[in-house]
Amino acid sequence: MAEGNPVQNLCEETTCPICLQYFKDPVIVDCGHNFCQACITRAWGEPDRDASCPQCSEPCQQRNFRPNRQLASIVEIAKKFSLQMARGAEALGRVCERHQEPLKLFCEDDRAPICVVCDKSKEHRDHKVIPKEEAFEEYQGKIQGHLEFLNKQKKEILASKLSGEAESQKLLKRTESERQKIVADFKQLHQFLEEQERLLLAQLKELDDGVKSCGDQHIAKLFEEMSSIDDLIKDLEEKQKQPATEFLQDIRSILQRYVALLHTVG
């Protein structure tokens, strides 16, 4: 028996090499290897075929096997021992659900803890299996590496976040300064436009008043001229009714008035 974990060695010695479970009705063949009675019977198959040991391939001429009662007793002892260990491991939450054995190994392929019986099963036969403690140290190192990397990433992201926030605050202050400047500039512009509006409206009012004043003077002058013309027309109409001597005596003054009126109207 190879040196190693005594519990693992015991499980190996009480496990059938065919079904990889605890021996059930163990029998021993001519070469000295042990198997479950049902397993060796199935392995040898038809009676007319040559039989050999499934483990070492030694010929078994007469297909002889006999019960191994001592091994059967050892199997029962191993079962009880494993059950006690399983109960202790179960109390600590480290028991195989399938075989009720302590989870002392780790399957690298499945990345799951397994027991010594699982290690010998077909499911894990070609898998890389290492002791649980070795796996714990290995994965602890990997997790530590991942934690260091993630913490480094976290610090870089935090630094980037703080830098971004500082830059944002700087830009916000700049935009606020520009906003205040624009408001002040437009306020001044509004005041200037209001002053220009008042000035232009005042000028327009002066122009309106001037136009109205000129219009009133012109109309007054026209009324005056029309009155003079009416008076002259009235005088001329009356002169036409006078006798010739009187008419000719005043004709000179009437013509002078007419000429003066023409100069005024023109």
Tens of pLDDT, residue by residue over 113-162, are: 888 888 888 888 788 888 888 888 887 787 788 778 878 888 888 888 88
Rounded Cα distance, 101 and 95, in Å: 5
| 96 and 68 Cβ atoms separated by less than 8 Å | no
Upper half-sphere CA count for residue 233 (Cβ side, 13 Å): 6
Task: Check: pTM over 0.85? Answer yes or no.
Answer: no
What angle do the packed helices 6-13 and 69-91 form, to 10 degrees?
140
pLDDT at site 2: 46
pLDDT tens digits for 28-73? 988 889 999 999 888 887 666 678 888 888 888 767 788 999 999 9
| 68 and 28 Cβ atoms separated by less than 8 Å | yes
189 alpha-carbon distance from chain centroid:
46
Which residues are bridge partners to 131 per DSSP?
105
- Please give the structure tokens belonging to residue 237: 């109409």
Assigned fold of 6-92: Herpes Virus-1 (3.30.40)
Spatial CA neighbour of 30 closest among 66, 55, 54, 73: 66
Rounded Cα distance, 5 and 19, in Å: 22
Q: Higher-confidence residue: 30 or 239?
A: 30
Q: How many CB atoms lie within 10 A of CB 78?
A: 19
Q: How many CB atoms lie within 10 A of CB 19?
A: 16
Q: Give me the residue spans of the domains in the chain.
A: 6-92, 138-265
| 144 and 169 Cβ atoms separated by less than 8 Å | no
| 112 and 126 Cβ atoms separated by less than 8 Å | no
Q: Does the pLDDT value for residue 1 go beyond 50?
A: no
CA distances in angstroms from 206 to 192, 199, 201, listed in the order given: 21, 11, 9
| 53 and 31 Cβ atoms separated by less than 8 Å | yes
pLDDT at site 91: 46
pLDDT tens digits for 71-100? 999 988 888 877 776 565 554 456 787 787
Q: Does the pLDDT value for residue 258 go beyond 80?
A: no
